[in-house]
């Protein structure tokens, strides 16, 4: 039964990722902004892969140990929660509103690309740093 649940989540995450690729069309060349447009789309796909991997690991392999008092671990957990909320909303909002930006679109694309890569690096750091309980 546990294998089936893992399979369903992996299949769902892969389906979401494939739909994101289909919608974004990351390697379709834009005539006015070819480089910055590819960068923002590819950086979003890298972020999305890191975020879904972290979500999968948290769902199935998190330690489940909550600190009982105000310790350093609790502060780190609060920072992780705050970063996770930030990491969920900023790249998604950035990719959705990019078409509404007209006058400074190229700097906007590079700014959101940098944010996406920074957030993806933070997510990878959390993935490496967390004590996962693999069964």
Q: Return d(Cα 93, Cα 73) in angstroms, integer.
A: 30
Q: Return d(Cα 82, Cα 96) in angstroms, integer.
A: 22
Residue 87 lies in a domain: yes
Print the domain residue range for 124.
2-129
Helix H or strand E encompassing 63: none
CA nearest 38: which of 92, 93, 98, 90?
98
Q: Return d(Cα 21, Cα 16) in angstroms, integer.
A: 9
Residue 134 lies in a domain: no
Q: How many domains in the chain?
A: 1
pLDDT truncated to tens, each residue of the chain (135 aa)?
Answer: 688 999 999 999 999 999 999 999 988 888 888 898 999 999 999 999 999 999 999 888 887 655 556 677 677 677 888 888 999 999 999 999 988 888 898 999 999 999 999 999 999 999 998 888 876
Going from the C-alpha of 73 to that of each of 14, 47, 125, the distances in angstroms are 32, 26, 16
Residue 14 lies in a domain: yes
pLDDT recorded at residue 68: 59
Residue 106 lies in a domain: yes
Contacts of 115 (CB under 8 A, 6+ apart): 90, 91, 94
Residue 125 lies in a domain: yes
């Amino acid at each position: 039964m546990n294998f089936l649940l893992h399979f369903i989540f992996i299949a769902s995450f892969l389906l979401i990722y494939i739909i994101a690729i289909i919608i974004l069309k990351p390697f379709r060349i834009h005539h006015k902004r070819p480089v910055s447009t590819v960068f923002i789309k590819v950086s979003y796909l890298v972020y999305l892969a890191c975020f879904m991997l972290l979500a999968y690991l948290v769902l199935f392999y998190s330690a489940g140990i909550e600190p009982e008092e105000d310790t350093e671990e609790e502060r780190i957990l609060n920072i992780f929660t705050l970063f996770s909320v930030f990491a969920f909303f900023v790249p998604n909002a950035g990719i959705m509103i990019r078409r509404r930006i007209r006058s400074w679109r190229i700097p906007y694309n590079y700014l959101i690309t940098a944010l996406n890569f920074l957030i993806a690096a933070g997510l990878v750091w959390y993935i490496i740093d967390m004590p996962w309980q693999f069964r």
